[in-house]
Amino acid sequence: MTNAEIKAMATKYVINTYGERKLAFVKGEGPYVWDADGVKYLDFLGGLAVNGLGHCHPDVVAAIREQAGTLIHVSNLYYIEPQVQLAKLLIDNCDMHQCFFCNSGAEANEAAIKLARKHAKDQARTDAYEIITMENSFHGRTMATVTATAQTRYHAGFEPMLEGFKYVPYDDLGATEAAISGKTCAILVEPIQSEGGVNVPSDGYLQGLRELCDNYNLLLVFDEVQTAMGRLGTLFGYQSYGVTPDIIAMAKFLGGGVAIGAMLTTKHIAESFSPGTHAATFGGNPLASAAAHATLKTVIGEKLGDNAVNMGAYLTGQLMRLKGKYPIQEVRGRGLLLGLVMSVDATALAAKCIENGLITICTNNNVLRFLPPININKALVDEAVSIVEKSLAETI
Ligand SMILES: *Cc1c(COP(=O)(O)O)cnc(C)c1O
């Protein structure tokens, strides 16, 4: 089928929640994807922060093939070997003690929200159910996680939102402390807000949240759905900032393209998720766990976090060289979660980049966001930057 034929069928048969699109990708290899008309693109968005090893990484493909021919799914009524191997590898590489597996970022956050409430109840703080979240955050689209997402445009038409969430500006410790009451049980924050415009924390902000949580007996929950898996340089984003949360939600890159999410926490807090309190039918099933284990093993084994730091610095430097010539404010972010901040609208620029063969996205009107595979090299960065430069010349 061609792009146009796929589009026509999608328009007819698939609910239009994603709006009109032009392309359908049908093949991927490493950092490249091909559309249905055979055109090749350099993918610096990576399936929205999912394809962190690029497309069809051979180790991930091999693990999926082998597991698919052995056992695809069993329920969590039984122990699952690939799941425990994945759990051990995650826990061996962070400060958490146990994992709960699910299928997406929203579900990982949903688990975190439920666990934070349950933990407060278990401490006899029966009125403490409120969670403080940040303006411009993004935590998912289920009722609880979209309520946690403090952006009214995601709420419109779905009211009433869930009870028990309070919003404060990101990076504002004073407003956060003022919002804390006897009803508060947790603070939920992305170490870097990605969807919200690649907003990075000021020095001391995450540490300050940790201190507030310690002082007021609250849980600190990090939504690391985009920041984990080496993207910021360390396996988990919190390790880059030296601030340890109580609960971590992760997904996206974890499965190397296969749907899986995880919530990690300490042994003590995990006890609140006692038998029967929470579940997910597909959570950590053999196929998804095998894919995630192969992905994680590659990220750790090849020290790809270091590469993310090096390539992030190189990409930042190359983009900043364009600053004199074009209305560029800055490059924000950390590792390979980067935003080219323009002083003008960047919607047309993002569209032009795709036309010129580079997949990226415009966030928050004026931010061109890059979430490339973290195993890229300088030549690929050069290729991307030359397309950005050409697209700037054609649109600005
Ligand atoms: C994408 C994202 C989510 C939601 O993940 P889904 O898998 O789409 O449910 C949650 N939090 C953050 C920070 C995200 O980037």
- Give the residue among 229, 238, 231, 294 at the shortest CA–CA distance from 262: 229
- Indicate which residue's Cα is closest to atom 14 of ligand 1: 225
Residue 217, pLDDT score: 97
Q: Which residues sit with their C-beta closer than 6 Å to ligand 1? A: 104-106, 109, 138-140, 190, 194-195, 223, 225-226, 251
Given this model, what pLDDT does residue 9 score? 97
Residue of 193, 250, 252, 361 to mutate, ligand 1, most atoms within 8 A of C-beta: 252
Say if residue 396's pLDDT is above 90: no
Q: How confident is the model at residue 8 (pLDDT cuts 50, 70, 90)?
A: very high
Expressed in angstroms and rounded, the spacing between residue 2 Cα and the centre of ligand 1 is 30
Please enumerate in sequence order all residues whose Cβ is within 8 A of that of 321, keeping only pairs 6 or more positions apart, or say none.
none
Residue closest by Cα to atom 6 of ligand 1: 105
For the record, the structure tokens of 30 come out as 């490493």
Contact 225, 105 (CB under 8 A): yes
pLDDT of 268 over the 90 cut: yes
| Mean pLDDT, range 45-70, rounded to an integer | 97
Whole-prediction pTM: 0.97
The Cα 191–Cα 238 span in angstroms is 7
Confidence of residue 204 (pLDDT cuts 50, 70, 90): very high
Atom 5 of ligand 1 has which residue's CA nearest to it?
105
Specify the ligand 1 atom closest to the Cα of 48: 1
Q: What is the pLDDT of residue 348?
A: 97
Ligand 1 centroid vs 225 CA: distance in angstroms?
A: 6
204: left (phi over 0), alpha (psi -120 to 50) or beta: left
The model's confidence at residue 65, banded by pLDDT at 50, 70 and 90, is: very high
pLDDT tens per residue across span 336-394? 999 999 999 999 999 999 999 999 999 999 999 999 999 999 999 999 999 999 999 99
> From the CA of 139, how far away is ligand 1's center (Å)?
5
What is the best residue among 17, 50, 107, 139 to mutate for testing ligand 1's pocket, by most ligand atoms within 8 Å of CB?
A: 139
Percentage of the residues of the chain whose pLDDT score is greater than 90? 100
Closest ligand 1 atom to residue 140 Cα is 4
How do residues 121-178 score in pLDDT, each as one tens digit? 999 999 999 999 999 999 999 999 999 999 999 999 999 999 999 999 999 999 999 9
Residue 203 contacts residue 170 (beta carbons within 8 Å): no
In 3-state terms, what secondary structure has residue 150? Answer: strand
Question: Residue 353 class from Cβ within 10 Å (0-12 exposed, 13-18 middle, 19+ buried)?
Answer: buried
Ligand 1 center–CA 206 separation, angstroms = 20
